[in-house]
Structure 1
Amino acid sequence: MARMPSAERRRQLTEAAIRAMTRDGVAKTTTRSIAAEAGVSLSVFHYCFDSKQALVESVITTITDHYVTVVKDAIRPRPTLRETVRAGFQAYWDHVSAHPGEHLLTYELTQYALHQPGFEHLARRQYELYSETYGELIDQLRHSMDFELRVPVPVLARYLAAMTDGLTLNFLVLGDDAVWADVLDTIVDHVAGLVRDEDEARPDVR
């Protein structure tokens, strides 16, 4: 077997874990089955991950990275802020539609972590990561399009994380429907409405 840098091997095993967990469920996925999915020995797995906690955290981070990369590319500045925000949400939604099993896995990971003694902090970390990710995306937009918000970035980030979480679960339960485009438009209108206009931003000099 060709030698591979440890970071690359961890990535390989994490992606294998995502495939195995999506197919078989978190509880039924073992370190042995992940190693088999990746085509490596069990000793290689234990060399890269010293615990299942470390693996689960890597899975959560990697799944988030999958769609964040797509969204970051999509929110390059467009003629209007609304168009830019809409493109970002559409990119996320396209990822959900294309990879529903992967997104369903995130909810299973949350439940697993909350019910597995010693894993509870991973569920908290998962949702903190969602908020932090939105905060980074908002800052990316603010720096590229130069606008001010009516609410603090951390508040908007947590709100968007909670809204997206609920919306995604609704989609996974109810399935594809034309109503989702209108729902996304409504969300975008709301977010665009949280941007200060020039008159608000201008100090009162009277």
Structure 2
Amino acid sequence: MPRISAAERRSDFVRAAVDVIAARGVDGATTRRIAEQAQAPLATLHYCYDSKEDLLTDVFEFVAGRFRDVIVSSEPRADLVLTAQALLRDVMEFYLESPNLGSTALEVTNWARRQNRDHAITVYDKAMETLRDTLRSAAADRSIEPETIDHLAYVIASLADGFGLNWLTYGDRSTAAEQMEISASVLESWLATRLEPAPAAR
């Protein structure tokens, strides 16, 4: 039987913790439950992690990284407006299709803020900077103020997270589909009032 590396084991424990935290919250996610979810001995978990806090730190980094991955992997658009709309829809769809990750993200963000506020801010800022970078790239052929990009990133994040919280609370797919369209229309209205039309191609 091939030996499983410590790095692979840590990855297994992080993914197992996501499911346990989504079901039971941070306080209910004991190391024993996480080890059982990972189908691994508890001693192996304690070999990989000195404490539950160390494991939760990796979980926090993991879920934040998954949201950054969604932003980075969003299909590139040549136009800022189309890019913004695609980013919002992609993050909302990620919430819709990954409820455990979304629920765990809320749990561990609050945990991280209580444990080490500066670190929590750093991780969140990294995700927001990924979003701003994507928007800047799409706006390369337009004269867009940096403040406008900052505001646009905030609007997308607020709409997506608001949608995610509602979806995680009610879990109603038909309502969620309708709310996705509402959120998209709010972004469209904001874009229409804040951005000048792109210059016509010559």
Which TM bucket (shorter chain)? 0.7 to 0.9
User: 2:95 matched to which residue of 1?
Assistant: 96
Residues 75 and 141 of structure 1, relative CA distance in 2, 3 Å threshold = farther
User: 2:64 matched to which residue of 1?
Assistant: 64
Residues 10 and 22 of structure 1, relative CA distance in 2, 3 Å threshold = same
Query: Structure 1, unaligned stretches of length 5 or more?
Result: 200-206
- Confirm or deny that 1:86 pairs with 2:82: no
User: 1:167 matched to which residue of 2?
Assistant: 163
- Confirm or deny that 1:34 pairs with 2:30: no
User: 2:44 matched to which residue of 1?
Assistant: 44
The higher relative CO (CA closer than 8 Å, separation ≥ 6) is in 2
User: 1:130 matched to which residue of 2?
Assistant: 124
| Distance apart, 1:16 and its partner CA | 0.9
TM-score, normalising length: structure 2: 0.76
Question: Amino acid of the residue matched to residue 48 of structure 2?
Answer: C
For 2:152 and 2:20, locate their aligned partners in 1 and report how far apart those are by CA, in whole Å: 34
User: 2:144 matched to which residue of 1?
Assistant: 149
Query: Structure 2, unaligned stretches of length 5 or more?
Result: none
For 1:73 and 1:187, locate their aligned partners in 2 and report how far apart those are by CA, in whole Å: 20
Residues 34 and 148 of structure 1, relative CA distance in 2, 3 Å threshold = farther
Question: Amino acid of the residue matched to residue 23 of structure 1?
Answer: A
| Distance apart, 1:81 and its partner CA | 2.1
Q: Is the 8 A contact 1:142 1:148 kept in 2?
A: no
For 1:4 and 1:107, locate their aligned partners in 2 and report how far apart those are by CA, in whole Å: 31
Identity between Structure 1 and Structure 2 (%): 24
Q: How many residues align?
A: 193
What is the root-mean-square deviation in Å for CA atoms of aligned residues? 3.0
Runs of 4+ residues over 3 Å off in structure 1: 110-114, 124-128, 151-164, 191-199
User: 2:74 matched to which residue of 1?
Assistant: 74
2:133 aligns with one of 135, 139, 143: 139
| Distance apart, 1:26 and its partner CA | 2.0
Residues 30 and 192 of structure 1, relative CA distance in 2, 3 Å threshold = farther
Residues 88 and 154 of structure 1, relative CA distance in 2, 3 Å threshold = closer
| Distance apart, 1:93 and its partner CA | 0.9
More helix per residue: 1 or 2? 2
| Distance apart, 1:113 and its partner CA | 5.0
